[in-house]
Amino acid sequence: MRWILRIVMTLFTLVVVAVAVLFLIPTERIARLAEAEFEKNTGRQLTLAGEVSPQIFPRLGVVLNDVTISNADWAGPEPMLEAERLDMGVTLSALIGGEINVEAFAIDRPVIRLMRDAQGAANWDFVAEIGGGEDEPGGATPEISLPKGVVTNATLIYVDKQAGSSETLTELDAEIGLPDLNGAAMLRLSARRNGQPFAMEGRLDGVQPLLDGDVRAVALEFRTGETTARFEGAAGLEPLQAKGKLNADVVDQAALFALLGATPPVIPPGLGQHTQVSGDLTLTAEGEMFLRGASLQLDQNLFQGDIDVTLGDKPFVTARMVGDRIDFSAMSTDTTEGDGAANAGAGGWSDARLDVSGLSAVDGAFSLRANAIDLGSMQLAKTTLKGELSNSRLVLEFTELGVFDGNVSGSFVVNGRGGLSVRGDMVAEGVAMQKVLADFAGYDRLVADGALRLKFLGVGDTMNELMNALDGAGSVDLGAGEILGLDIAGMIKNLDASYRGEGAKTVFNDMTASFAIEDGVLRNDDLDFVAPLLTAQGRGTLDLGGQTIKYYVDPVALADQIKSGIRVPVIIEGPWSNIKFRPDLKALIDTELEAEKEKLKAAAKAKEAELRAKADAREAELKEAAAAKLETEIGVEREAGQSVEEAVKDGIEDKLKERLERLLGGN
């Protein structure tokens, strides 16, 4: 703003010359004199290419046409300012007294080019001081006032090579009220940025002190579309700083983001389609903004706490907020037009694209405490969590998450970088499994309070893609509970595998299992089920992507009362919307056949053993009879422990020896 005042003050000085020679000097000479005086006092060249016209009515002053002011040598050949018409009116009584009291100042269709180079030099910092320096005779600047200054249909171009940024404002209309440089000033401004209109209105206590580096009282209002903001407090320019009360009502997201040159994110209801912010604002010279005692209203949701923002190419927001009952139910609602829910009619997951573009708007870190949170598909009780958002990746960590009558702790990650992925690592205690399965799988027959450990990773841009690409692992311990619609005890008591009782259910003492998930299919092989009069093992698959189940339970009843117990295998299968329980009759028949085979094998073995025993006894009897006959007919006596064969052999050898001796001896 300092450069504007310098130019205006110099041009005001020229009015004295113009009025003094109003009827004595030709306008051409007035123009040349004005140009010379301007260059003398500013070091810049003023060119008045059009007519210079002194005027008496409606006010005393001068009209300058086709005005240009040269730029700094390093800023390029284009003028710093060019305008089609410049009107100035002064107060005659003040002029006679030796002061310049400007009643009105109007510039029509100016083009203003401001530039800062890479070293920080600005083209609006003139070398020569207006009106001369303090050491120069007569160098004091006259008193200046501007009750009304008007800029019409201006174009403002600002290039900052040091920051690597540029701004252009078009259709800029402004009205300035500056009765006293040291007193209150007024500004009304409207313009377009990126094609989006906006308006500002403000009051300032002391322009000159502000330009000299002081912090001054200020009130400022801003609006674009239906979005408004108001600040009232104190501010300074060098360096830029502010402190005071802020109230903002962001109704028109499209207008605000168009003004910022960004695409508005898709924001579900409850997350800030209509945002209201109030609190104590502090803006530091380092580009940091602090909002203390903040009240943040996101649609129907009210949060209170502190918010810090570091400004830059992408704002970094730090928030510590507390809420009561928060409604985020719209997060689970499909807001995509078209046939996004193509699979929903068939009982499958939605094919609607999951839009997480809102994650790219800012980076930051936050914490939240709430008494209840409605997520639509899930109701959370008392919740304490913190999160970090960086480059479209949101990481949530929760130490207390009241869900389904239990508590969950762990982390959850939503990554929107180049596609969508979700990752979780959670531990749940005391969770009502009936509510969990009813909400997520439409299955309400399992009644138990469970402990669950789960790690998972899903990649995909729709719920259908995510669930069919899910990988992970976990375990579950349900403790005591019941399975509705399955009466294994009734089957056993009635000795009828097809038994279906009124209000059928199976009560159990404990149920544990571990599982692995691959490509959207959960597989379990170690289900352990313990119930009164009954134990069971289970195995099978749960197709999370296809929403079907195929599971086999092999129960054994009365094992401590009946040898081998009673087995009633059960098959659980079908889509989640219509799961069927049925006994495995083939397994029952196969079991009975196997048992009968075992009985027959045992009987055959017993018969074989009986026949072998009879054969062995007969063999022994025959051997005894043969031995007796040998003793009678041959005269061989068998000694104890000697076999018949050995006795016969020994007996024959003795007799042959005896006869041979007789023959040889003649006896």
Q: Write the secondary structure of 250-303 as one string of H (helix), E (strand) and C (coil).
A: ECCHHHHHHHCCCCCCCCCCCCCCCEEEEEEEEECCCCEEEEEEEEEEECCEEE
Using the predicted structure, report yes or no on whether residue 342 has a pLDDT greater than 50: no
Per-residue confidence band for 138, with pLDDT thresholds at 50, 70 and 90: very low
Using the predicted structure, report yes or no on whether residue 25 has a pLDDT greater than 50: no
Top-confidence residue, 508 or 565: 508
pLDDT in tens, 59-104: 666 788 888 989 988 888 899 999 988 887 665 554 444 454 556 7
Using the predicted structure, report yes or no on whether residue 455 has a pLDDT greater than 60: yes
Q: How far apart are CA 65 and CA 50, in angstroms?
A: 5
Mean of all residue pLDDT scores within the chain: 78
Top-confidence residue, 582 or 501: 582
Look up residue 226 and give its two tokens. 């239906």
Phi/psi of residue 278, each to 5°?
Answer: -145, 155
Per-residue confidence band for 653, with pLDDT thresholds at 50, 70 and 90: low
Q: What is the mean pLDDT of residues 517-535?
A: 89
Percent pLDDT > 70 in the chain is: 71
Per-residue model confidence (pLDDT) at position 190: 95
Top-confidence residue, 104 or 223: 223
Top-confidence residue, 299 or 27: 299
Top-confidence residue, 256 or 647: 256
Using the predicted structure, report yes or no on whether residue 15 has a pLDDT greater than 60: no
Token match 């209509």: residue?
274
Return all residues near 75 (Cβ < 8 A) that are at least 6 apart: 113, 115, 117, 123
Q: What is the mean pLDDT of residues 6-13?
A: 56
Q: What is the mean pLDDT of residues 268-277?
A: 85
404-425 burial: b if 16+ Cβ within 10 Å, else e: bebbbbbebbbbbeeebbbbbb
Percent pLDDT > 90 in the chain is: 27
∠ CA 249-300-441, rounded to 5°: 140
Per-residue model confidence (pLDDT) at position 637: 60
Per-residue model confidence (pLDDT) at position 436: 75
Per-residue confidence band for 600, with pLDDT thresholds at 50, 70 and 90: low
Of residues 360, 452, 358, the one with CA closest to residue 408: 452
Per-residue model confidence (pLDDT) at position 60: 63
Per-residue model confidence (pLDDT) at position 583: 75
Per-residue model confidence (pLDDT) at position 339: 37
Using the predicted structure, report yes or no on whether residue 19 has a pLDDT greater than 60: no
Of residues 551, 540, 474, 476, the one with CA closest to residue 512: 476
Using the predicted structure, report yes or no on whether residue 344 has a pLDDT greater than 80: no
Q: What is the mean pLDDT of residues 9-38?
A: 58
Q: What is the mean pLDDT of residues 291-319?
A: 89
Per-residue model confidence (pLDDT) at position 96: 47
pLDDT in tens, 141-174: 445 566 778 899 999 999 988 878 888 999 999 9
Return all residues near 383 (Cβ < 8 A) that are at least 6 apart: 368, 369, 370, 372, 373, 398, 400, 401, 402
Per-residue model confidence (pLDDT) at position 594: 62
Amino acid identity, position 260: L
Q: What is the mean pLDDT of residues 180-184?
A: 80
Of residues 241, 216, 211, the one with CA closest to residue 6: 211
